[in-house]
Amino acid sequence: VSYAVENDVPVMFVTEDTTRSNPEDVKMIYHRAMELGVRRLCICDTCGHVTPNGVKKLLAFIDEEVIKDAGYQRREIEVNWHGHQDRGLGVANNIAAVEAGADVIHGTALGVGERAGNAPLDQTLVNLKLMGVIDNDLTLLDAYMQKANEYIEVPLPRNYPVFGEDAFETGTGVHASAVIKAMRKGDDWLADRVYSGVPAGDFGLKQVIRIGHMSGRSNIIWWLEQQGIEAEDGLVAHLFEVAKSQKRNMLDEEIHAAVAAFGSS
């Protein structure tokens, strides 16, 4: 540490497994690091052990009993939070860290990392945007996620929040009907919110109407119109019967096959 500081190399002092360590040990180690010139501390939940309430208590301890007790102002020391997903609390803990005043939050695309992974950076950004904590343009975040999925070969489940294929798909009739009504009015803002807790457009995505066993005729008519296919009554009735025989939402190619089958009958 001394060598790096003396040569003007910025130093971040990272303590492994901070959340399960003896507080007095943490205090002693950080005090010594700051004495040597460290101005960046990284508090790590290496094993994904802590809860959001624990994050807030730990960061309050770092602020009051570590940094200030060592004679430094909080603004002089950069506090980083590094979380993991072992209990599925990575995003919740990241948010708690922000609320507790952490300066930098760590995460990875798709939560890739050892064991259950690191805190998902993408979901953290989505939530901070929706909370009004950040105002960054995140419309390219989906493209980033798709590239991460492609290059690091970590699965992107269909039901993954926001960026999975199913995240903004609506197949249920009453839900789809409300979304379609907003779309027909040209009210994209409303269409993005009437049955979605996350506005798709804010993240470079859009609402998608699907056809399945819980769909109504409005789903079918909308889908046909979007494909440039005339929504004549016989075809709509045929697709309605096909949809009711399914156990899930149909893929586009399956619907096209059903349309072709109707045309050849």
DSSP conformation class of 120: B
- Give the type of residue at 27: K
**pLDDT exceeds 90 at position 264:** no
**pLDDT exceeds 80 at position 265:** no
DSSP conformation class of 249: P
Q: Identify whether the C-beta of residue 222 lies closer than 8 Å to the C-beta of residue 176.
A: yes
> Which pLDDT does position 126 carry in this prediction?
97
pLDDT, mean of residues 36-54 = 96
Q: For 130-172, what is each residue's pLDDT tens digit?
A: 999 999 999 999 999 999 999 998 889 999 999 999 999 988 8
State the average pLDDT for the chain. 94
**pLDDT exceeds 80 at position 191:** yes
Task: Give me the CATH code for the 2-134 domain, please.
Answer: 3.20.20.70
pTM over 0.75: yes
Q: For 195-212, what is each residue's pLDDT tens digit?
A: 999 999 999 999 999 999
**pLDDT exceeds 80 at position 112:** yes
> Which pLDDT does position 263 carry in this prediction?
80
Q: In which band, very low, low, confident or very high, does the pLDDT at 173 lie, cut at 50, 70 and 90? A: confident
Q: 140-164 b/e with 16+ CB inside 10 Å = b?
A: ebbebbeebbeeeeeeeeeebebbe
Instruction: Give me the phi and psi of 70, to 5 degrees please.
Output: -85, 0
Q: Is 255 helix (H, G, I), strand (E, B) or coil?
A: helix
> Which pLDDT does position 149 carry in this prediction?
93
> Which pLDDT does position 23 carry in this prediction?
94
Angle in degrees, CA 49, 54, 57, rounded to 5:
145
Angle in degrees, CA 253, 258, 264, rounded to 5:
125
pLDDT, mean of residues 71-91 = 95
79, containing H or E segment: strand 78-82
**pLDDT exceeds 90 at position 49:** yes
3-state helix, strand, coil in the chain (%, to 5): 50, 10, 40
Would you kindly state where each structural domain of the chain is located, as residue ranges?
2-134, 169-263
How far is 167 from 92, CA to CA, in rounded Å?
19
**pLDDT exceeds 80 at position 29:** yes
